[in-house]
C-alpha cells in the first residue's frame, strides 16, 4: 500500500510553476533538500569592499547551477517569504519555504497571484555561456553575474552561438582573477559590451531580473531585493528588440502601468514607476 501511495504521489507531483512551491513552518523537516539563502539586501556601509553597491542575497545563481535541485529556504517575514516564492517561480525550481505566520499569510496571497500568471513555454534569454566547474569561485562569480543582470546560462562547453563564453581557468579568464569576482564580472561585461546586452536596468542597485522568451514574446521577471526597506521608485528598463506591446503585472500592486515607453534603435525602453516585491512584464512584437 505504501509503495502504491508513493507511486501515486510521484505521478501527481507538479512538474513546474507555482505548484512546486511549498509553504512550511519554520521547524519543518528539510532533510535531503539543498539550502537556499534568505533573499534580501544587506547594507554594509562600514565594511570595506570592492564596490559601494549594497549586497544582494539572491538565489538566482544557485538555481541556475542546479536546475534539477530541490531546495528549502528559510524566509521569515513578508518580504523574504514573497521574494523566496518569486525566485522559485521565476527560476522554476521546487522550493520549500519555511516561514513564520506573517510570511505564511503573505505567501498565500503571493501563490494566489502566481496562479493567475499565464504559463508559457518560455526559455531563458541569455548573452553569456558560463562553463561551471562546480567550484566555490565559480559559484561566487555566477552570483555576481546574476546580481549585475549579466544574463547567462551554465554550459558544458563554450557555445559559439552565444555572444560570449566564460570559463574560469581559460587564458582569457585565469583562475587568479576569480579572487576578485566583482572585477571579473566587470571584465566580462566589458568584453560582452553593453550594446549587446539583451537587458539593461537603470535606477536601482537592488533589482535583479530574469529574461525569458518564447517565439516573438518576451517575459521579464523583476525582483526588488530591497523591498523590506522600500519599494524601488522607478526602474528604467531597456530590452533589446522592438516590442510594441507591453503589459505589466505586479504581486502587490494590481494597477501597474508602464510609462515613458519608447521603441526605437532596435530596443524597447520603459519605466516601471514603482516596483514593490515582484513584477512580471510581458512584451510582444
Residue 77 contacts another protein per CB under 8 A = no
CB atoms within 10 A of CB 223: 25
Is 217 one of the binding residues for another protein (CB under 8 A)? no
Element (DSSP H or E) covering residue 91:
helix 78-91
Whole-number minimum distance, CB 128 to another protein, in Å? 15
Label residue 137 left, alpha or beta by phi (over 0 means left) and psi (-120 to 50 means alpha): alpha
Nearer to another protein, 70 or 238 (CB): 238
The nearest distance, CB 148 to another protein, in angstroms, is 6
Q: Alpha-carbon dihedral of residues 72, 92, 267, 155, nearest 10 degrees?
A: 90
Which of residues 95, 201, 280, 283 is near another protein by CB under 8 A? 201
Which of 151, 235, 248, 253: binder of another protein (CB under 8 A)? 235
Give min distance, CB of 123 to another protein, in A.
24
Bridge partners, residue 17, by sequence: none
Q: Rounded to an integer, what distance in angstroms lies between the CA atom of residue 263 and that of residue 285?
A: 10
Check residue 45 for interaction with another protein (CB under 8 A): no
269 touches another protein (CB under 8 A): yes
Among the listed ranges 30-38, 45-53, 66-74, 158-166, the one in contact with another protein (CB under 8 A) is 45-53
Using the 8-state DSSP alphabet, how is residue 215 labeled?
Answer: T
Coil, strand or helix at 283? strand
Residue 193, interface with another protein (CB under 8 A)? Answer: no
Residues 94-133 vs another protein: string with x where CB under 8 A? ----------------------------------------
Please check whether residue 220 is in contact with residue 237, taking contact to mean a CB–CB distance below 8 angstroms: yes
Q: Which of 148, 192, 209, 222 binds another protein (CB under 8 A)?
A: 148
The torsion region of residue 272 among left (phi > 0), alpha (psi -120 to 50) and beta comes to beta
Q: Grid coordinates in use for 241? A: 528588440
Q: Name the site residues for another protein (rule: CB under 8 A).
A: 51-53, 148-149, 182-183, 185-186, 189, 194, 201-205, 230, 232-236, 260, 262, 269, 271, 273
Amino acid at each position: 500500500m505504501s509503495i502504491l501511495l508513493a507511486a501515486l504521489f510521484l505521478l501527481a507531483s507538479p512538474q513546474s510553476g507555482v505548484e512546486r512551491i511549498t509553504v512550511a513552518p519554520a521547524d519543518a523537516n528539510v532533510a535531503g533538500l539543498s539550502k537556499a539563502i534568505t533573499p534580501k539586501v544587506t547594507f554594509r556601509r562600514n565594511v570595506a569592499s570592492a564596490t559601494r553597491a549594497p549586497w544582494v542575497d539572491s538565489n538566482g545563481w544557485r538555481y541556475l547551477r542546479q536546475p534539477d535541485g530541490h531546495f528549502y529556504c528559510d524566509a521569515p517575514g513578508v518580504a523574504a517569504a514573497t521574494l523566496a516564492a518569486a525566485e522559485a517561480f521565476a527560476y522554476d525550481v521546487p522550493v520549500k519555504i519555511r516561514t513564520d505566520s506573517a510570511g505564511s499569510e503573505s505567501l498565500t496571497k503571493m501563490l494566489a497571484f502566481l496562479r493567475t500568471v499565464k504559463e508559457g513555454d518560455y526559455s531563458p534569454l541569455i548573452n553569456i555561456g558560463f562553463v561551471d566547474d562546480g567550484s566555490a569561485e565559480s559559484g561566487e562569480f555566477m552570483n555576481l553575474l546574476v546580481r549585475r543582470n549579466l544574463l547567462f546560462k551554465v554550459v558544458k562547453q563554450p557555445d559559439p552561438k552565444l555572444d560570449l563564453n566564460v570559463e574560469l581557468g581559460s587564458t582569457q579568464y585565469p583562475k587568479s582573477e576569480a579572487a576578485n569576482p566583482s572585477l571579473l564580472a566587470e571584465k566580462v561585461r566589458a568584453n560582452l559590451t553593453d550594446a549587446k546586452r539583451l537587458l539593461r536596468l537603470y535606477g536601482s542597485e537592488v533589482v535583479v531580473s530574469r529574461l525569458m522568451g518564447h517565439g516573438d514574446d518576451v517575459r521579464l521577471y523583476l525582483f526588488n531585493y530591497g523591498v523590506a526597506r522600500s519599494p524601488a521608485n522607478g526602474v528604467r528598463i531597456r530590452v533589446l528588440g522592438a516590442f510594441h506591446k507591453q503589459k505589466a503585472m505586479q504581486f502587490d500592486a494590481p494597477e501597474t502601468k508602464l510609462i515613458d515607453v519608447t521603441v526605437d534603435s532596435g530596443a524597447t525602453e520603459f519605466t516601471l514607476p514603482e516596483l514593490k516585491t515582484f513584477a512580471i512584464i510581458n512584451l510582444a512584437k
